[in-house]
Amino acid sequence: MQDKLIIFDTTLRDGEQSPGAAMTKEEKLRIARQLEKLGVDIIEAGFAAASPGDFDAIHSIAGIIKESIVCSLARASENDVRRAGEAIKPARKGRIHTFIATSPIHMENKLRMTPDQVVERAVQAVKWAKEYTDDVEFSAEDAVRSEMDFLVRVFDAVIQAGAKTINVPDTVGYSIPALWGERIKQLIERVPNSDKVIWSTHCHNDLGMAVANSLAAVMNGARQVECTINGLGERAGNASLEEIVMAVKTRKDIFTCDSRVDTTQIVPTSKLVSSITGYPVQPNKAIVGANAFAHESGIHQDGVLKHRETYEIMRAEDVGWNANKLTLGKLSGRNAFRTRLKELGIELDSEDALNAAFARFKELADKKSEIFDEDLQALVSDEIVSEAGENYKLVYLNVCSQTGETPHARITVLDNSVERSAEADGGGPVDASFKAVERIAESGAELLLYSVNNITTGTDAQGEVTVRLSKGGRIVNGQGADTDIVIASAKAYLNALNKLHSKLERAHPQV
C-alpha cells in the first residue's frame, strides 16, 4: 500500500508572480477547471488580501471547483486571514494557508519582530483561520535560513493551535537535496505531534534544484509538495508539478507514495498555462517540452524502434502528448464547436462571445486544414471578456518588406471605438508595425521581450507571439495568435497596451 502524495498547485498564486504573468479572473477560472481535471488535490487560487480582483477570482473559483480543495494565501495578520476566509466561503472544501517569516534576517530586517512576537503572531493567525475552516496550513517563510530550534518551537505551537499541514519552504532556493532532506527528517523527528499533521515542502529554483529538493523532502517524510505547472514562478520559478509527479510515478522502486494526478492531462494543462501567461515552454523541458520524447541520434532511434524502453522511461501518451488529435474542421457546426470548448474547460459568458469566437474559428479553418485543441485555446483567448477591457483593437495592417528596401507598415487601430491610422518604417516588418502602433498609442512603454512560438506543427500553423512591456513599474505580457506572424505580433503588442491601460492594478504579496 503506497502513501498518498498530496499535490498542492500554486500556479494561480505563486506562478502568477512571474513578471507580466498576472491573469484575469476569466483566465484563472479556465486554469482552475483544468487543474481540477488534472486531479491536483489543492488549488492555491490566489492571495485574497492582495487586491479586490484576486479576492473575486478566489471567490469565483471556490464556487465552481467541486473535487479539489480551494486555498487562499494569507499573511499572519487578521485582515489577511479574514479576507482569505471570506474568499473561500463558497468552496465545498476550503483551506487557508497562512505564513510568517522565521529566519533571523527576515525577522530583524523585514518584520522587525522578536522571535517571541513571531510565535505569538503565528499562533494567533492559525486561530483566526480556524474560525473559517478546519483545514489550516502554516508556512515558516524562509525556513531554509531559519534556526532549527526556532522552527521546532514555531511548528509545535501552531500544531497545538490547530494547524493540520506544516509547510517548510525554501523561499529563496538556497538549499541542496541532501541538506533539505535532512532538515525535513529532523523536523519530523523533533517536533511534538509531528505524526498528527501533513508535512509539506515548497521549493524555489534559484539554484536549479527545486524539484530535486522537493523529492528529497518526499523521501524523508514530506507528503505534500507545493509546485506549479511548467515550474512557473517569480525569479527562477518553482518546482515543476509535471516533473515531480512523473518522477514519483516512474521511480516506484524508490518512492513509497503516489499522486492521484491524471498524467494524460499534463501536456494539455502545460499548454494552457503557457498560452495564458505568455511564458513559452523550452523545447528541451522535461516531460512537457517539444523535444522531451524526440530522438535525434541514430543509435537512439534504432533502439527505440526495436524496443521503446531502450531509451524511453515514460510513454509520451501517458503525459498527454497524443491526446490532442484533430477535432474540428471547416464543415464543423456551432454545436460541435461549443461542445469541444466545454470539453477543454472553456466557457464563454455570452452568446455574442460564442458567435464571435465561432466566426474566428471559421476564418481560421479557411486558412489551415487541421484545427487542433491548441488552436482553439489561442483562438478563444481574444473573445473572453477580460478585466483589462479593450482600448485598442487591430482593424487593418499592411506591411511591405522586400530585399534592399526599408520595411514599411501601415496600420489602422480602433482607439476607444475611434479608427486611427499611422505609418512607420522599421528595421523589419515587426519593428515597423510596432512603431506604427506607437505613433497612435504614444505609450512610452519599454519593450522587454518579444517571443515567437508555433502553436502546432506545419507551415500553416498559427504563430503565437508574446510581447512584454514595462512602464511606470508595471510589467505586462501581451499575447497574439495568427497564421500570419506579423499580424500576431501586432495583436500581441496591442494586447499588452490594453493591459497597461487597465485601471485594475495587480498587487502581489511582496508589494
Q: What is the DSSP string of 135-192?
A: -EEEEEETGGGS-HHHHHHHHHHHHHHT-SEEEEEETTS---HHHHHHHHHHHHHHST
Report which secondary-structure segment, H or E, holds 341.
helix 334-343
Assess whether pLDDT exceeds 50 at residue 388.
Answer: no
Closest to 41 in 3D by CA, of 70, 14, 61, 13: 70
Q: Show contacts of 312-315: CB within 8 Å, 24+ apart.
A: 313/250, 314/246, 314/250, 314/287
Q: Show contacts of 131-134: CB within 8 Å, 24+ apart.
A: 131/85, 132/81, 132/82, 132/84, 132/85, 132/86, 132/88, 132/89, 132/94, 132/96, 133/85, 133/88, 133/94, 133/95, 133/96, 134/162, 134/164
Q: How far apart are CA 297 and CA 295, in angstroms?
A: 6
What pLDDT does 227 receive?
98
What pLDDT does 33 receive?
94
C-beta atoms surrounding 294 within 10 Å: 12
Confidence of residue 491 (pLDDT cuts 50, 70, 90): very high
What pLDDT does 460 receive?
66
pLDDT digit string (tens) for 400-413? 999 999 999 999 99
Assess whether pLDDT exceeds 80 at residue 461.
Answer: no
pLDDT digit string (tens) for 197-254? 999 999 999 999 999 999 999 999 999 999 999 999 999 999 999 999 999 999 999 9
* C-alpha distance from residue 29 to each of 225, 245, 388, 485 (Å): 22, 23, 16, 28
C-beta atoms surrounding 422 within 10 Å: 16
In single-letter form, the type of residue at position 336 comes to A
Report which secondary-structure segment, H or E, holds 4.
strand 3-4
CA atoms within 13 A of residue 20's CA, in its CB half-sphere: 27
Assess whether pLDDT exceeds 50 at residue 307.
Answer: no
Assess whether pLDDT exceeds 60 at residue 296.
Answer: no
| Domains, the chain, with CATH or none | 3-277 (3.20.20.70), 293-322 (no CATH), 334-381 (no CATH), 392-501 (3.30.160.270)
Q: Between these two residues, 256 and 331, which has the higher pLDDT value? A: 256
What pLDDT does 373 receive?
72
Q: Between these two residues, 62 and 22, which has the higher pLDDT value? A: 62
Max mean pLDDT range (141-150, 299-308, 374-383, 480-489): 141-150
The strand pairing partners of 424, in sequence order, are 409
Assess whether pLDDT exceeds 50 at residue 326.
Answer: no
**Nine cell digits for residue 370:** 487541421
